[in-house]
Amino acid sequence: MSWIEDIISPQTRQWEEFYRNRFQHDRVVRSTHGVNCTGGCSWQIHVKDGIVVWETQQLDYPLLESQLPPYEPRGCQRGISYSWYLYSPLRIKYPLIRSALIDAYRREKAKTDDPIKAWENLQNDEAARRRYQNARGKGGFRRISWDEVLELMAASNIYTAKKYGPDRVAGFSPIPAMSMLSYAAGGRFLQLFGGVNLSFYDWYCDLPTAFPEIWGEQTDVCESADWYNAKMIADMGANLNMTRTPDCHFFAESRHNGTKTVVFSPDFSQVSKYADQWVPLHAGSDGAFWMAVTHIILKEWHHEKQTPYFLQYTKQYTDSPYLVKLEKEGDVFRPGKLLHANELPAHQDIENGDWKFVNIDEVTGNLVIPKGSSGFRWDKEGGRWNMKLENGVDDQPYNPYLTLLNDHEEVIQVSFTEFGLAVDRKRGVPVRYIETVEGRIPVTTVYDLIMGQYGVERGLPGEYPRDKTDKDGAYTPAWQEIFTGVSSNTVEQFAREWANTANLTGGKCMVIVGAGINHWYHANLMYRSAIMTLMLTGCVGKNGGGMNHYVGQEKLAPVDSWGSIAFANDWQGAARLQQAPIWHYINTCQYRYDGQFSKYNTTPDNKWTRQHTADTIFQAVRMGWMPFYPQFKQNSLELCKEAINSGATSDEEIKNMCWRN
């Protein structure tokens, strides 16, 4: 104790010298914390004699713009404690290997003096192989030199490639945002070796599948500073204090900018302390809440009030005006596929007609092929793939019909499935009849089907909810109470505040969502229910608005140059990349213990729901929708030798012969 408190001579205060020495340093360097965090916070690392002694946050972040708060302070308690972790006795500083494995390898190496032959002998010795495999999970690690462990790894990889093929060597790394160089080093090795890179984002269930389902892209979210621009934020299962610690201050500061913040979480999570309102809905029921919100917005702000901003945005930036074919099933119709441009007699030969769709011009009543259709992305001429309200055939402007409610030929009964209650409802939908190459068919707009699905009656006949208190009519405020435990009054208040805010601010309403939602089986549906509300109130693509998935910010600024290094694009063409969940699901036989889709969700009975997940994976791979490895039953090296022996003299001939076989 004398070094803390000098009992004999307290006036000397020698204990203070220890305190002063603790914080002495001889230089300061800039660094960050390369752990599984995508904050990338800049820190001043104080070093003495090559040892990190302490650290502080950097204070030189540039100000994005004068209307936004500064990024500083940027950092967290976990980051500032990292310098202690560096020297922790628990930190693994050297390679460790299981004793049963290294002892067996060394015995074989002593016999052969050849690393590859030693590994081959070990794999052929069933008893020895079983011994080190059975030792897994039981401890027994020993320190080993880098030279020896690298030798063993190289020998095992070469043996595997020679016997089974290089594409039987698969590798996995956490996110590149941890360390772009570390990820690129492993990725480049695998590609040059002929191995396979397994994905990371979907493997931890962090990939928001609703994003590619709706927008065809992955996690294009706003910069955290944009939270400050929002005027209403719904925090949906994202514990920002914990998972976005460096950015959370933007959420807190937004309230000084007039933003209302609402947290949806079964527990009183940390972020609730920053919120104006906490909605404790039942876990996994977020989708029901948001569908009730959308029901209110469609009824009150789209149908009754006819809000100009919402209607114009929905016309131009969603697929709501697109025409859908209705297909007869018994005495009712069901929604079918979008009407394709090449199904129209006048456009049978239009380029990429299977991927161009149809609107109706409200002014002329003519059929229009909007430029936003995906087929225009691949036209030879190019330049017409955009969101302008112009006919892709003649560039003429048009105003699409959003609904046929006031200009239809007939109202027919369409069957809608309410999956929450597992019932079908027959509801009237306004239609027009279109002459196609297959004959005269009824069509309606996506928007009219949305109104029918959400139970917005609009004076049409059918099994619509009586009113908002109808608990058996999806998706009323009373209906959602069954699933969420949240009162109808709360839903109605939130929906009206949301819609009013979006209308007055031009779409400055935002959802921040995270892993609390994303790890559910039906996460995509919960995401999509919130996205529906965002789209129908004109909030997507707006500063201060949109759907923002913040499990992390996987943003690599130099992605093109980094990708060339990481996937060896300077040496080869397409990289061998594979979805990790599917690779494990099939190659480890997990599919044998899985049930069909109907085991997990209420599903309609059709050819898709009668299948197994493994069936749909097989179909997708066969149709070229996604990759899968290994691609051959045989060793690909042996296939190349067979092709050469059969007369192939070039890489192209080898490829063609291998695929034919």
Provide CB contacts within 8 A for 485, sequence distance 6+.
280, 281, 282, 285
Are 372 and 477 within one domain? no
The domain tally of the chain equals: 5
Query: Which regions in the chain score pLDDT beneath 70?
Result: 1-10, 12, 14-15, 177, 552-556, 659-661
pLDDT score for 435? 96
Domain boundary among 508, 527, 549: 549
Are 396 and 434 within one domain? yes
Residues 307, 508: Cα–Cα separation, whole Å: 16
Are 335 and 427 within one domain? yes
pLDDT score for 114? 96
What is the rounded end-to-end Cα distance, in angstroms, of the chain?
A: 79
Q: Which of 411, 71, 379, 41 is nearest to 224 (CA)?
A: 71
Evaluate the CA torsion angle 72, 77, 82, 83 in order and state its sign.
positive
pLDDT score for 10? 66
Q: Is residue 373 part of a domain?
A: yes
* 592 DSSP assignment: G
pLDDT score for 177? 66
The pair of three-digit structure tokens given for residue 529, joined into one six-digit string: 């229910």
pLDDT score for 1? 47
pLDDT in tens, 110-146: 999 999 999 999 999 999 999 999 999 998 899 999 9
Instruction: For 162-214, give the DSSP string.
Output: HHH-GGG-EEE---TTT-HHHHHHHHHHHHHHT-EEEPSTTTTT-S-THHHHH
Are 240 and 289 within one domain? yes
pLDDT score for 68? 92
Rounded to a whole number of angstroms, the CA Rg of the chain reads 31
What is the CATH number for 285? Answer: 3.40.228.10
Q: Is residue 465 part of a domain?
A: no
Q: Is residue 622 part of a domain?
A: yes
pLDDT score for 126? 95
Distance set, CA 356 to CA 54, 125, 233, 343 (Å): 60, 61, 36, 10
What is the CATH number for 51? Answer: 2.20.25.90
The answer to whether the CB of 582 falls within 8 A of the CB of 202 is: no
Domain, as residue range, for 238? 219-302+473-549
Q: Is residue 44 part of a domain?
A: yes
Are 649 and 618 within one domain? yes
- Model-level pTM? 0.90
430-443 as b/e: b if 16+ CB within 10 A: bbbebebeeeebbb
The pair of three-digit structure tokens given for residue 165, joined into one six-digit string: 């093929």
